[in-house]
C-alpha cells in the first residue's frame, strides 16, 4: 500500500484524454497549501497498513463538553443529567462531563456527580481545563469529594499558526507554559486518590512532529508516567486537514517514538472537517491509538467530532464486540436529539430512519432473496436465524441487532420493482405471490405511484391487490346485443366418495334467475368452470397457488389463479377461512374479468 506522505507521494490527477478533459473550475484553490508543505512526518516505514482491527478501543464520549460547546443552546442541568445517564446505561466507563472552569452550569454538574450517586463507582469522570493556574484551581475545586476515578484533562494549542497568531509564543516559551500548567496540576491534585492526568496538544495534526514529541515526552516525565498510573496523551485532529493516512502516519510516529510508552495511554480526538473523521479514527487505532474521544452521532464544532456510535457499530459489523450496547438505537437517538435539539439525518449511518430501507427495485429483489436464503440456511442447519452468520445483500448488519424491525427495510415508490412489492405483501400480510403475478401487480402499483408521486404503503398495495384481483370487476357478459351482469355463486355442494363425486353448482343472476348444473367425477375448479361455460363465460385455469395467511384459528386461505380467456391471460384471487371457498371465490373473480 502506498501512503501519501512527503517521502512517498503518489500523484493523483484526472485523466487528460480527450474524452475526459476537464476545464479549470475558476475556484481560488491556489490560496491553499497541501498538507505536505505543513507537516513532514519523519516516518521511514509504516506498519499500520498491514494491521487489522481486532478489539474495541477505550471509548470516551465528549458530548457533555465538546459537543455541548457546539450547541446554539447549551444543555441545561436536566438535559445534561439525562444524557449522562443514557451513556452510563449504554456501558461507557469513561465520560468527559464538562469544562467546570468555563461555566457555572458545568461546575454545578460536576458537583452533582460528587454529591449524588448518579455515577456508578466504575465510571471514570473526565474534566477539562486549559493550562492556566486559576482555571486548574477551579477545576480541582469542582472534583472535591468525588469518589469515582477522575481524569483532569489539560490542553494547550501547539501548532505554528496558533503559536504565532493566537498565543504569541515561541516553541520554547510555549513548552514552558505547558510544563508550568503540568506543575500546577501536580501541586493541586497530584496527591488526590484516584486522580490521573491527561494532556492534549491541541491541533496536534498541524504541529511539527519533533516539537509535539518533545512536549509530550516532557509532560510524561514531569507527571512520572508509569503503567500503574498511566498518563493519557490525547492527539487531536482539531481541524481535519489531510487524508486519513497522514493522520495514521502521525499517530504511528508518536506511538513508536514516545518515551515511557508503557506508561502512556495513546488517545485520539478526530474532527470531521473533511468528512473523513471515521476513517481517521479507524486508521489511528491501527497505528497504535488505544483510546478514542468523540460524540455519539458526531455532534461538535463545525462539521462535528468523530461519530463514536458509527465507529462502534462498524466494529460490530466486522464481528468485533464494541463493548457498548446499541441494542435499542432508537431510544439512544431520542435522548441525543432531545438533549442536543438537533435531529439525526435520515441517512445517518446505522441510526437514520432510512439506512436500512431500499426503494430501488434491484436492491429490493436482492434483499428479498437474501432473507429467503437466510431462512433456508437456518432451517437446513437447524439453527435459530438470530444466531446464524448474517449474509443479506445491502444490509451490512441485521437491523434487529439495534432494535429495528423489518417493517421499513423495503418501501415502495415509483423506483421500486416487483420484488419489493411482493416482499411487503408477504411480510405484512403473509401473501406470497408467484413471479408472473408479481410482475402484473408491480405494473399496477407503479402506475399508482407515478400518478400520486408518493411512497406506497403496504396497506395501499394490499388495497390495489384486492381491487385488481379479488373484488368483482365492473364487467358484464355479452351475448349478441344482450348484455347481462356476471352471476354470483349461490350454492356449491359435493357428495359421494372419491372418484364418484357429484357436484351441484347454482349460479344466480342479478335478477334472481338460477342456472343449476351437475358435474361428476371432477374437482371443484373443473365443476365451477364448466358451470360458467354453460352460461357463456369461458375461462381456462392455467395455474393455481394456495397458501395460508396468519396462524392458528384466525388464519385464512388465499388462492391465486392464472387463467386464459378470450382476451388473453390474467390473474384473480380469493380469500376465505375455508380453502375451498377461497378457491371458488378466485374462480368467480376470474369470471368477472373474463
Q: What is the spatial distance between Cα 125 and Cα 110, in angstroms, rounded to a whole number? A: 9
H/E element, 84: helix 77-90
Give the per-residue pLDDT at 201. 98
Q: In this structure, is residue 529 part of a structural domain?
A: yes
How would you classify the pairing of strands 556-565 and 540-549? Answer: antiparallel
**Which of 470, 497, 525 is the last residue before a domain boundary?**
470
Query: What strand order describes the sheet that includes 94-98?
Result: 58-61, 291-294, 264-270, 231-237, 195-202, 150-157, 124-130, 94-98
Say if CB 580 and CB 559 are below 8 A apart: no
Q: In this structure, is residue 21 part of a structural domain?
A: no
Residues 183, 113: one domain?
Answer: yes
Q: In this structure, is residue 33 part of a structural domain?
A: no
Q: In this structure, is residue 29 part of a structural domain?
A: no
Q: In this structure, is residue 39 part of a structural domain?
A: no
Task: Please give the residue range of the domain that contains residue 456.
Answer: 361-470
Q: In this structure, is residue 19 part of a structural domain?
A: no
Residues 252, 268: one domain?
Answer: yes
Q: Give the CATH number, domain containing residue 412.
A: 1.10.287.1400
Give the per-residue pLDDT at 334. 94
How many domains is the chain partitioned into structurally? 3
H/E element, 156: strand 150-157
Q: Give the CATH number, domain containing residue 532.
A: 3.30.160.270
Q: What is the spatial distance between Cα 523 and Cα 530, in angstroms, rounded to a whole number? A: 11
Q: Which of 294, 363, 378 is nearest to 70 (CA)?
A: 294
Give the per-residue pLDDT at 6. 44
Give the per-residue pLDDT at 4. 42
Say if CB 53 and CB 284 are below 8 A apart: no
Q: Give the CATH number, domain containing residue 324.
A: 3.20.20.70
Residue 578 CB contacts under 8 Å (≥ 6 apart), including other chains: 557
Residues 256, 381: one domain?
Answer: no
pTM: 0.75
Residues 446, 500: one domain?
Answer: no
Residues 54, 148: one domain?
Answer: yes
Give the per-residue pLDDT at 228. 95
Residues in the chain: 594
Q: In this structure, is residue 10 part of a structural domain?
A: no
Give the per-residue pLDDT at 19. 65
Q: What is the spatial distance between Cα 60 and Cα 57, in angstroms, rounded to a whole number? A: 9
**Helix segments in 410-549, DSSP class H:** 418-429, 435-452, 458-465, 524-534
- Phi/psi at 566 (5° precision): -60, -30
Residues 309, 367: one domain?
Answer: no
Collapsing DSSP to helix, strand or coil, 9 comes out as coil
Collapsing DSSP to helix, strand or coil, 129 comes out as strand
Residues 145, 212: one domain?
Answer: yes
Say if CB 296 and CB 88 are below 8 A apart: no
Residues 451, 502: one domain?
Answer: no
**Which of 405, 440, 470 is the last residue before a domain boundary?**
470
Residues 159, 259: one domain?
Answer: yes
**Which of 470, 497, 527 is the last residue before a domain boundary?**
470
Residues 187, 220: one domain?
Answer: yes
Residues 197, 79: one domain?
Answer: yes
Q: In this structure, is residue 74 part of a structural domain?
A: yes
Give the per-residue pLDDT at 547. 85
**Can you spell out the DSSP letters for 256-323?**
HH-TTGGGEEEEEEEB-TTS-HHHHHHHHHHTT--EEEEBGGG--STT-B-BHHHHHHHHHHTT---S
Q: What is the spatial distance between Cα 159 and Cα 507, in angstroms, rounded to a whole number? A: 92
Mean pLDDT for back-to-back runs of 10 residues, the chain (594 residues): 44 58 84 73 93 97 95 93 98 98 95 97 98 98 97 96 92 97 98 97 96 98 97 96 95 98 98 97 98 97 96 97 96 96 93 81 82 92 91 90 77 63 84 87 85 83 90 48 65 86 90 90 92 91 86 81 87 92 93 82
Residues 508, 422: one domain?
Answer: no
Determine if residue 297 is left, alpha or beta; phi over 0 gives left, psi from -120 to 50 gives alpha, anything else beta.
left
Amino acid at each position: 500500500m502506498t501512503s501519501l506522505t512527503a517521502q512517498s507521494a503518489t500523484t493523483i490527477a484526472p485523466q487528460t484524454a480527450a474524452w475526459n478533459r476537464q476545464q479549470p473550475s475558476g475556484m481560488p484553490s491556489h490560496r491553499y497549501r497541501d498538507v505536505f508543505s505543513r507537516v513532514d512526518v519523519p516516518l521511514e516505514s509504516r506498519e499500520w497498513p498491514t494491521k487489522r482491527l481486532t478489539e474495541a478501543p477505550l471509548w470516551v464520549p465528549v458530548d457533555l463538553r465538546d459537543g455541548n460547546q457546539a450547541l446554539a443552546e447549551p444543555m441545561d442541568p436536566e438535559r445534561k443529567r439525562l444524557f449522562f445517564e443514557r451513556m452510563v446505561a449504554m456501558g461507557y466507563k469513561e465520560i468527559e462531563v464538562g469544562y467546570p472552569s468555563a461555566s457555572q452550569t458545568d461546575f454545578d454538574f460536576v458537583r452533582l456527580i460528587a454529591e449524588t450517586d448518579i455515577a456508578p463507582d466504575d465510571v471514570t469522570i473526565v474534566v477539562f481545563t486549559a493550562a492556566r493556574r486559576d482555571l486548574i484551581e477551579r477545576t480541582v475545586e469542582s472534583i472535591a469529594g468525588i469518589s469515582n476515578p477522575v481524569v483532569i484533562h489539560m490542553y494547550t494549542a501547539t501548532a505554528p499558526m496558533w503559536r504565532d497568531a493566537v498565543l504569541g509564543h515561541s516553541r520554547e516559551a510555549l513548552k514552558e507554559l505547558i510544563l508550568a500548567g503540568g506543575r500546577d496540576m501536580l501541586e493541586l491534585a497530584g496527591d488526590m486518590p484516584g486522580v490521573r492526568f491527561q494532556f492534549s496538544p491541541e491541533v496536534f495534526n498541524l504541529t511539527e512532529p519533533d516539537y509535539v514529541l518533545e512536549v509530550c515526552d516532557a509532560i510524561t516525565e514531569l507527571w512520572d508516567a508509569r503503567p500503574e498510573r498511566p498518563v493519557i496523551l490525547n492527539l487531536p485532529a482539531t481541524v481535519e486537514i489531510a487524508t486519513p493516512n497522514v493522520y495514521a502516519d502521525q499517530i504511528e510516529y508518536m506511538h513508536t517514538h514516545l518515551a515511557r510508552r508503557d506508561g502512556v495511554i495513546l488517545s485520539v480526538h478526530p474532527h470531521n472537517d473533511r468528512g473523513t473523521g471515521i476513517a481517521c479514527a479507524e486508521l489511528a487505532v491501527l497505528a497504535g491509538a488505544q483510546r478514542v474521544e468523540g460524540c455519539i452521532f458526531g455532534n461538535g464544532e463545525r462539521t462535528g467530532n468523530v461519530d463514536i456510535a458509527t465507529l462502534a457499530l462498524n466494529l460490530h459489523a466486522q464481528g468485533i464486540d464494541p463493548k457498548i450496547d446499541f441494542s435499542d438505537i432508537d431510544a439512544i437517538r431520542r435522548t441525543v436529539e432531545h438533549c442536543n435539539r438537533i435531529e439525526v439525518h435520515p441517512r445517518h449511518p446505522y441510526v437514520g430512519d432510512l439506512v436500512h430501507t431500499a426503494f430501488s427495485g434491484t436492491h429490493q429483489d436482492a434483499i428479498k432473496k437474501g432473507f429467503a436464503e437466510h431462512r433456508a440456511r437456518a432451517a437446513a442447519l437447524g439453527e435459530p436465524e438470530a444466531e446464524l452468520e448474517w449474509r443479506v445483500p445491502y444490509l451490512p448488519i441485521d437491523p434487529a441487532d439495534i432494535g429495528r424491525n423489518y417493517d421499513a427495510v423495503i418501501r415502495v415508490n415509483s423506483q421500486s420493482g416487483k420484488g419489493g412489492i411482493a416482499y411487503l405483501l408477504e411480510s405484512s400480510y403473509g401473501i406470497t405471490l408467484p413471479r408472473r403475478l408479481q410482475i402484473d401487480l408491480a405494473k399496477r402499483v407503479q402506475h399508482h405511484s407515478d400518478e400520486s408521486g408518493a411512497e406506497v404503503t403496504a396497506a395501499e398495495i394490499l388495497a390495489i391487490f384486492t381491487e385488481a384481483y379479488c373484488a368483482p370487476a365492473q364487467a358484464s357478459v355479452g351475448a349478441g346485443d344482450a348484455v347481462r351482469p356476471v352471476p354470483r355463486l349461490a350454492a356449491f355442494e359435493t357428495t359421494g366418495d372419491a372418484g364418484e363425486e357429484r357436484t351441484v353448482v347454482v349460479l344466480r343472476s342479478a335478477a334472481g334467475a338460477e342456472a343449476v348444473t351437475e358435474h361428476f367425477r371432477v374437482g371443484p375448479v373443473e365443476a365451477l368452470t364448466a358451470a360458467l361455460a354453460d352460461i357463456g363465460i369461458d375461462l381456462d385455469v392455467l395455474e393455481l397457488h394456495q397458501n395460508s395467511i396468519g396462524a392458528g384459528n384466525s388464519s385464512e386461505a388465499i388462492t391465486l389463479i392464472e387463467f386464459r380467456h378470450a382476451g388473453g391471460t390474467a390473474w384473480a384471487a380469493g380469500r376465505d377461512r375455508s380453502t375451498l371457498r377461497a378457491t371458488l371465490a378466485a374462480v368467480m373473480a376470474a369470471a368477472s374479468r373474463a
